[in-house]
Amino acid sequence: MLPSERCSGKHMRLDVVIPTHNRADLLPRALESLFAADRPDGLDVGVTVVDNRSTDLTRSVVASFQSRFPDLQYIYEPKPGRSHALNTGIAAVHGDLVGMIDDDEEVDRTWFRTIAAAFADPDTDFIGGPYLPRWGAERPAWLGNGYGSVIGWAESGDAIRQYGPAQGPMLMGGNAIIRRSVLERVGPYAVDLGRTPGGRLLSCEDDDMFARLKAIGARGFYRPDLIIRHYVAPERLTKRYFRRWCFWRGVSLGVLDKRQPRPVPYLLGIPRYIIGVAVRGAIDSARPPYGRREAARIFMNELAWWDLAGFAYGKHCQRLDKYISRISRENTPTAPPLQNQTAAGARR
């Protein structure tokens, strides 16, 4: 942990923030899992649901749980976007630790115990863990292991590993716990990244946060025992969804690359390794089939081209820049008129 931010006390408060949009059917399972999980001594837990412009029964669902769990609070965030919802939730809580899960996840029964054990070490700033799939339909034959992140399936082995600058596990925001003092150092989630309700599948708000955590020297660990189970909806188990997701993920990486260039060789403004993966995949798929070709391998090779096309679009398309800038301006709060400020000051 950063030396100036060490906390010597053993008693901690964890606030879990859940951003949600029109998931009244799935949210109860997420809440039930949190309230059923074992809570170790010395760890107080609160849960905050941030309703991001839902039009279903989300508010009623939360209210039905509040009678049983007084440490559950509901907040409505009208600005569309997961990042806005996360930032609102983080600003509304005051615990030593801030945890984040998504509304279509369930935490393991040992989730809180793992958190307490990890942060008993004052040098730990943040932790993340695996996402295991809870299939909503049969897994298709063309779905291999190379693009599990499309459906929120991510595992990085059975050992505790420190996050570092080299290629390895990345902190994903649907299963992350960060010290509040560290969040105050790195700032809020980027609101020009991440998907919005009914909008494009932009992402990379977690990549941006992870990069900023590493930039300030924060110390984090991948914990294989910090387990969540993520629901994989049937509509996501289609090739069309995978293609869309990979394209817009590539767009997001291209946008992010403008502000955080990578220390790798580039060709035409694109990291050379992205081009290399796509070209090698095309060559592999074009080879004569000696026996039955693997559907998952061929489709993975195709997705590499969607990654490349999206990155090029995000990096070079000026129309997208204007779109993102406009959305950012529309969602950036402005100061109230001077006369209102004066009136407010007079009332104080």
Please, which pLDDT band fits residue 21 given cuts at 50, 70 and 90?
A: very high
What are the structural domains of the chain?
12-237 (3.90.550.10), 241-329 (no CATH)
Give the C-alpha separation, 304 to 281, whole Å.
7
DSSP class of residue 265 equals: -
Asked if 313 and 319 touch (Cβ cutoff 8 Å), the reply is no
24 — phi, psi (to 5°)? -60, -20
Per the prediction, the chain carries an average pLDDT of 86
Helix, strand, or coil (residue 150): helix
Structure tokens at 211: 């990069």
Asked if 209 and 167 touch (Cβ cutoff 8 Å), the reply is no
User: What is the per-residue pLDDT across 55-77, written as a single tens digit (0 to 9) for each?
Assistant: 999 999 999 999 889 999 999 99
pTM: 0.83
pLDDT at 205 (0 to 100): 86
- In the block, residue with structure tokens 């806005």: 84
